[in-house]
Structure 1
Amino acid sequence: MTKIYVLDTNVLLQDPNAVFSFADNEIVIPAVVLEEVDSKKRYMNEIGRNARYVSKLIDGFRLTGKLHEKIQLDNGGTLRIELNHRSFHQLQEIFVEKTNDNRILAVAKNIALEEETKTNGRPVILVSKDALLRVKADAIGLYAEDFLNDRVVEMDHLYTGLQELYVDIDMLRRFYEKGEIESKEYVNQTLYPNQFLIMKDELGSSASALGMVDQSGTIIKKLVNKHDSVWGVKPRNAQQSMAAELLFRKDIQLVTMTGKAGTGKTLLALAAGLMQTEDLRLYKKLLVARPIIPVGKDIGYLPGEKQEKLRPWMQPVYDNLEFLFNTKKPGEIDAILAGMSSIEVEALTYIRGRSIPEQFIIIDEAQNLTKHEAKTILTRVGERSKIVFMGDPEQIDHPYLDEYNNGLSYILEKFKEEEVAGHIKLLKGERSELAQLAADLL
């Protein structure tokens, strides 16, 4: 039996192609949703872009028929704009205020009541990214679902870049003697290119080894990074050593790092970028950028020139640079950076249209990027450049993103089988014992 799906505005603003995600079922878009989409299309951000895309998409549907009656979609489903079920009578005693959310609820509830009177009435389901709207729908006896089609993976299955194996002690001896082994002789599961392995003795002894799958996915090799200290920063745990391996490998052009606050993502990436730019001269410039998403209430417009406006947003980057340059006085880092044309701290707002060759690029807080924004950034990378995306998918400040549909998760999952990419999830906090305790408990 086919179903009727009533879409909330946030579904279309999150994925403008959402109407094609419901197979051969009927899609209903309440008229109030069109009003909300129209109010967002002037925004100069991802939400505005999606609103404009949805507007053009629905306008194009007019060529196939009358939208208020029903039109056929290419995937076998149908779509209609709902104008005749706006009555608020069923909800007026429960939800007094006629907000847009309540008007969408009213449309879905009225269609559901109409279907109940039919012999072969179809189930009516409200689809929304708004948790409270789903709760309200459930309270009035209406089926409601989250829109999960935009998720990269199912729950708790994000690629970590690291796998623990229990192997024969003879394998460990051969690995130490030869420096590499063929994975098919010892491992009966799929391994990805540039994936890290912690191999332990299956009998329980203390013998263990760190390995990395080569780009063919068939050979396990020892880590080759020879930089014990990078601008005064030493890896403090196995995952940080793996991160350093990825950051210094010339044949790995895309690095993704995830981890809780304080695991050392930004500091390691900056240290590796500075060494390869300033000391080894492998790149012409170090570019550091991050999305401008406030963690609480926005502070509004900021005075001054562009760099002065950017400073509050980029302060976490400056904090790490001050540590690496060992500055003592306030403002000293600004003078240092002013004299070093090879370091650029920028906001992602200005990256569209650029081509960035021969640079070491760091994108911090990448979990606040949408899939489209992540793609836009990645397609800016020029010849002989290396790009590092990092962030914590559990700390998202964007209203329409979650752990499984953000740009960082999207990139690490899509590139996990590619030879030019590597990923590692940092597990242990090294900022301080208090910071690690807070990350674990809170």
Structure 2
Amino acid sequence: MTATQPKYYLLDTNILLHEPLAFLNFEENNVIIPMVVLEELDNIKDRKKDVSREARVAIRSLENALKDATPEEIVAGVPLSNVTGEHNAGGHLAIFPDYQLKQTEAALNLSENDHRIIQSALALQTRYSDSKVVLVTKDINMRLKAKGAGVKYVEDYRTDQLIDDIRFLSKGFIELEGDFWSGVGEVTSVQEGRETYHEVARDTLPAVFRNQYVIDESDQFAAKVVGYDSSYVRLQDLGQDRMMAARAWGIQPKNMYQAMAMNALLDPAIDLVILTGPAGSGKTLLALAAALEQVVELGIYEKIIVTRNTPEIAESIGYLPGTEEEKMAPWLAAITDSLEVLHKHDESMESSMEYIMKKANIQLKSLNFMRGRSIQNAFVILDESQNLTASQLKTIITRCGTGTKIICTGNLAQIDSYYLTAVTSGLTYIVERFKDYPGSATVNLNGVVRSSLAEYAEENL
């Protein structure tokens, strides 16, 4: 086998559900789709599930690639270079007739779809013994079964993976040792209205991006990167005391991480705020407090839309009683919990919550019904977004129209999806994709402020 010899990639169903055009992302290599994958896509396309759209898109894309080919050509492989659109695919696409596989005592049980896909990989491994045959699946257990069954090469789909280790994920801020100014040589400072800006040499902060915060150990200096070029970095002087004194709907930051998050949440020039961090770090509470402040007090936005990913809700929501908001209430208990915290000192907490739900026009929406909408003049909170894929997050973010701000919160240590990990989560993807976009900011809220018990559990369990 030579390094330049094309490989054969056998795709599992979940790859096409994760990214319907995934078969175009293997460059000069050949892609094979087992017949059972088409059967699974056919079964999924009409279900009332969030992935049904992906199944339909995948089917239409495969049909577009194979529509002019004869049955013999489809089995042998059709050139992907003939597919219209922007892609670098130069290999062939083929459908493997796995129904022709013979059941033997040594073979896997072919009545199970996963086993048919694994058996297809084994058959292709024998057929193309001089080439590398790779089974690609996002199912961790299937990868283990395939290796145990004798498949030599089994991989996860990583075309949309931007980092290899979650430790390299941008935190949205730089923590410098000692005093920031002690390491700065020449500086140019200007006053623009109430704000002070500094221009320092790029060597002082060589790896920066827009809206990244800079703090040091002096408990005084805090700034935000508002621009840079090859020679200089332009900083907006914020000051730690000033940031810690910020308030939103009666909530004040408990640490500098929350202060940076609140600064981004209250900045009308920032349309996308990504808040990551452990459970109990205050992500949802800060987002809701900032939303109420800007909708009710400042009138910047007209309404608050709260949504989250609920994989099982597609089947169960229809059977729950009440309106969409009432159906969604059990899944968005974190929002109502946060509302209780914000109004716990009111004379009548229940009356206050009912009043503010109407006053702020708070809408609890199912993620499954966000497609096709155009959201205008709204403050959108997307909770638990670590369980979303990159394509799902793209669908939501592209719904945001004029005057809309979206907050994505999530804890990458609490991913519930079978097919996602911390490095393949859509939340990780957008942190990396948007980290230098002028209209976005990311803040990782280090530290648990919920309780000493929660903090100990986060650190030791």
TM-score (structure 1 length as normaliser):
0.88
Q: Which amino acid aligns with 2:24?
A: F
Pairwise CA RMSD? 2.9
- Residue 152 of structure 1 pairs with residue 165 of structure 2: no
Q: Which amino acid aligns with 1:69?
A: A
| Shift in alpha-carbon separation, 1:220–1:353, aligned structure 2, 3 A | same
- Residue 136 of structure 1 pairs with residue 145 of structure 2: yes
| Shift in alpha-carbon separation, 1:197–1:395, aligned structure 2, 3 A | same
Tell me the secondary structure at the aligned position of residue 389 of structure 1. strand
TM-score (structure 2 length as normaliser):
0.84
- Residue 164 of structure 1 pairs with residue 175 of structure 2: yes
Correspondence for 1:203: none
CA contact (8 A) 1:352 1:376 kept: yes
* Aligned with residue 424 of structure 1, among 428, 436, 443: 443
Over residues 337-374 of structure 1, what are the superposed CA-to-partner deviations in whole Å (9 max), with x where a residue is unaligned? Answer: 45425333333333333333332222212222332332
Q: Equivalent pairs: percent with the same residue?
A: 34
CA contact (8 A) 1:37 1:55 kept: yes
Q: Which amino acid aligns with 2:251?
A: V
* Aligned with residue 92 of structure 2, among 63, 71, 78: 78
Structure 1 gap segments, 5+ residues each = 201-205
Correspondence for 2:86: none
User: What is the distance in 2 between the residues matched to 1:76 and 1:176?
Assistant: 53
| Shift in alpha-carbon separation, 1:313–1:147, aligned structure 2, 3 A | same
User: What is the distance in 2 between the residues matched to 1:287 and 1:85?
Assistant: 48
Choose 330-339 or 278-287, whichever is displaced more.
Answer: 330-339
Correspondence for 2:85: none
Structure 2 gap segments, 5+ residues each = 82-88, 191-195
- Residue 386 of structure 1 pairs with residue 395 of structure 2: no
User: What is the distance in 2 between the residues matched to 1:63 and 1:165?
Assistant: 58
User: 1:45 Cα deviation (Å)?
Assistant: 3.6
Tell me the secondary structure at the aligned position of residue 334 of structure 2. helix
CA contact (8 A) 1:85 1:107 kept: no
* Aligned with residue 51 of structure 2, among 47, 53, 63: 47
Q: Which amino acid aligns with 1:424?
A: V
Choose 344-353 or 387-396, whichever is displaced more.
Answer: 344-353
User: What is the distance in 1 between the residues matched to 2:391 and 2:246?
Assistant: 37
| Shift in alpha-carbon separation, 1:190–1:438, aligned structure 2, 3 A | same
User: What is the distance in 2 between the residues matched to 1:84 and 1:185?
Assistant: 59
Q: Which amino acid aligns with 1:112?
A: Q
- Within 5 Å, give how 1:231-250 maps onto structure 2: 231-250=249-268
Q: Which amino acid aligns with 1:320?
A: S
User: 1:250 Cα deviation (Å)?
Assistant: 2.0
User: 1:106 Cα deviation (Å)?
Assistant: 1.1
- Within 5 Å, give how 1:212-231 maps onto structure 2: 212-216=224-228, 218-223=233-238, 228-231=246-249
User: What is the distance in 2 between the residues matched to 1:72 and 1:177?
Assistant: 60
Correspondence for 1:323: 341
Over residues 46-87 of structure 1, what are the superposed CA-to-partner deviations in whole Å (9 max), with x where a residue is unaligned? Answer: 421111111111111223423112111122111111126843
Correspondence for 2:20: 16
Q: Which amino acid aligns with 1:267?
A: L
* Aligned with residue 126 of structure 1, among 135, 138, 162: 135
CA contact (8 A) 2:198 2:237 kept: no
User: 1:89 Cα deviation (Å)?
Assistant: 4.8
User: What is the distance in 2 between the residues matched to 1:385 and 1:207?
Assistant: 34
Correspondence for 1:115: 128
User: 1:400 Cα deviation (Å)?
Assistant: 3.3
User: 1:198 Cα deviation (Å)?
Assistant: 2.2
| Shift in alpha-carbon separation, 1:435–1:420, aligned structure 2, 3 A | same
Correspondence for 1:397: 416
Over residues 19-48 of structure 1, what are the superposed CA-to-partner deviations in whole Å (9 max), with x where a residue is unaligned? Answer: 112221221211111111111111334421
Correspondence for 1:34: 38
User: 1:102 Cα deviation (Å)?
Assistant: 1.0
User: 1:192 Cα deviation (Å)?
Assistant: 0.3
CA contact (8 A) 2:187 2:199 kept: no
Q: Which amino acid aligns with 1:159?
A: S
Over residues 289-332 of structure 1, what are the superposed CA-to-partner deviations in whole Å (9 max), with x where a residue is unaligned? Answer: 2233459x979831233332222112110110111122576854
Q: Which amino acid aligns with 1:137?
A: A
CA contact (8 A) 2:387 2:417 kept: yes
* Aligned with residue 208 of structure 2, among 191, 198, 207: 191
CA contact (8 A) 2:188 2:198 kept: no
Q: Which amino acid aligns with 2:80?
A: L
* Aligned with residue 336 of structure 1, among 339, 349, 355: 355
CA contact (8 A) 1:24 1:77 kept: yes
CA contact (8 A) 1:253 1:387 kept: yes
User: 1:333 Cα deviation (Å)?
Assistant: 5.4
User: What is the distance in 2 between the residues matched to 1:79 and 1:22?
Assistant: 10
User: What is the distance in 2 between the residues matched to 1:416 and 1:368?
Assistant: 20
Tell me the secondary structure at the aligned position of residue 283 of structure 1. coil
User: 1:334 Cα deviation (Å)?
Assistant: 5.2
User: What is the distance in 1 between the residues matched to 2:317 and 2:53?
Assistant: 24
User: What is the distance in 1 between the residues matched to 2:440 and 2:118?
Assistant: 45
CA contact (8 A) 1:318 1:333 kept: no
User: What is the distance in 2 between the residues matched to 1:62 and 1:402?
Assistant: 33
- Residue 373 of structure 1 pairs with residue 392 of structure 2: yes
CA contact (8 A) 2:211 2:440 kept: yes
Choose 122-131 or 107-116, whichever is displaced more.
Answer: 107-116
Tell me the secondary structure at the aligned position of residue 229 of structure 1. coil
Tell me the secondary structure at the aligned position of residue 381 of structure 2. strand
User: 1:96 Cα deviation (Å)?
Assistant: 4.5
CA contact (8 A) 2:210 2:436 kept: yes
User: What is the distance in 2 between the residues matched to 1:175 and 1:272?
Assistant: 34
